[in-house]
Amino acid sequence: MSGERLLEVTGLKMYHVIRKGLFGGKFYIKAVDNVDLTLDRGEALAIIGESGSGKTTLGKTILRLYEPLDGKIIFDGRDVTHIRRGELKKYRRETGFVQQDPYGALPPFMSIRQILEEPLKIHKIGTKEERLEKVYKALEEVRLTPVEDFINKYPHMLSGGQQQRVVIARSIITDPKLVIADEPVSMLDASVRVEILRLMESIQKKYKLGIIYISHDLSTTKYFSSRINIMYAGKLVEGGPTREVIYNPIHPYTRYLINALPDPDANNRFVKRDVPPGEPPSLINPPTGCRFYPRCPLFIKGLCDVKEPGYTYVNENHWVKCWYYEENR
């Protein structure tokens, strides 16, 4: 895994500020708290976590749609953590975003052509003819063909899967080097999910695109990304090559996540799944130390609830943040 580094994120923090009541105090939702990650050119990395674990916030912070509170984002050798104006605009052009929920992602009163032309206009790319050519190419790339059938349609005339292809086309129209796809298929039927993921995979390979694929669904990532990171309550807790993490999970949370997921099997109805009770903590006042400790059966009193676990390497590429593993390996 020694490709060319595209993205290097260290110690990234992003807290949402909320105010309770008219005169109430400020609260911080610690949605992304001290996250490190790397991505090589042309690599597909998955971030897996339950809803509310901070995945969207992480993606948007990396894309600088949110201002980081702390940490560093190095993209293509440049520090983009706090860039502004011209530099930020350039960064926007080099990155693409497939946002969660295709049904809300496209402006309803714009035609597909207008939707795809807009980023090109914003970035003053090409002449009118060249832009149209790019729109055609992008639609062909996502296989909305014959293009003439789609280009003048409005989003509501398309199925969910077709809308999602338009969102993908828009995310690649400026030839970015990095695309962050936030739950790109979770709103779609299983029968179309695989089709869209295959499509993204082929575009990624063809253009050596770096993709961060955000999802709550571990089983799809197995087929569509080479590495995964597991996120729990604002922190990454385990990471490594996809198969390695799925077949040899170390962190108790990762193990439960895998236990919880059924494969189609008629025997499932006779067995219960081994999962911890309870739900993820509030991110306003998350548990000290390891954020999973209130639900963890391996919890070491006086350690897990006091001190945050650091990196422990299972092997060269597979790491975990867990005191139990660190102490008992």
Partner 1 sequence: MSMHLEVENLYLYYKTLKGIVKAVDGVSFQLKRGEAMALIGESGCGKSSLSRAILRLLPRNTYKYEGVIKLDGENVMEYSDEKFRRDIRWVKISYVPQAAMNALNPVIKVGDQIAEPLIIHTNTSKEEALEKAAKMLDIVNIPADFINRYPFELSGGMRQRVAIAMALVTDPELVIMDEPTSALDVLTQANIMNEMKDIRKKMNLTLIYITHDISVSSELADKVAVMYAGEIVEFSDAESFFKEPSHPYSKLLLYSVPTLRVDREPIYIKGQPPSLIDPPTGCRFKDRCPYRFEKCEEKPPTVSTNGGFAKCWLLEKR
Torsion over CA: 70, 71, 73, 78 (sign): positive
Q: Which partner from the list partner 1, Mg ion, ligand ADP, none does 289 bind, CB cut-off 5 to 8 Å by kind?
A: none
Amino acid code (one letter) for 147: V
DSSP character at residue 189: -
Measured between alpha carbons, how far is residue 203 from residues 1, 138, 145, 215 in Å? Answer: 20, 10, 16, 19
Q: What's the alpha-carbon Rg for the chain, to the nearest Å?
A: 21
Dist. CA 78–CA 73, nearest whole Å: 8
Binding mask 50-69 for ligand ADP (x = CB under 6 A): -xxxxxxx------------
Q: Which partner from the list ligand ADP, Mg ion, ligand SF4, none does 322 bind, CB cut-off 5 to 8 Å by kind?
A: ligand SF4
Interface with partner 1 (CB under 8 A), residue total 41
The residue sitting closest to Mg ion, measured at its beta carbon, is: 56
Q: Is 314 in the site for ligand SF4 (CB under 6 A)?
A: no
Which one of residues 6, 40, 49, 142 is an interface residue with ligand ADP (CB under 6 A)?
A: 49
CB atoms within 10 A of CB 279: 9
Contact 155, 108 (CB under 8 A): yes
Q: Is 284 in the site for partner 1 (CB under 8 A)?
A: no
Contact 110, 119 (CB under 8 A): no
Amino acid code (one letter) for 195: E
Q: Is 57 in the site for Mg ion (CB under 5 A)?
A: no
Q: Which stretch binds Mg ion (CB under 5 A): 13-21, 52-60, 138-146, 310-318?
A: 52-60
Instruction: Report the DSSP beta bridge partners of residue 19.
Output: 26
Q: Which residue carries 């897990």 as its tokens?
A: 304
Q: Which stretch binds partner 1 (CB under 8 A): 18-26, 100-108, 133-141, 253-261?
A: 253-261
Binding site for partner 1 (CB under 8 A): 50-51, 159-161, 189-195, 198, 216-220, 222-223, 246, 256-266, 268-269, 272-273, 275-277, 279-280
Binding site for ligand ADP (CB under 6 A): 16, 18, 29, 31, 49, 51-57, 283
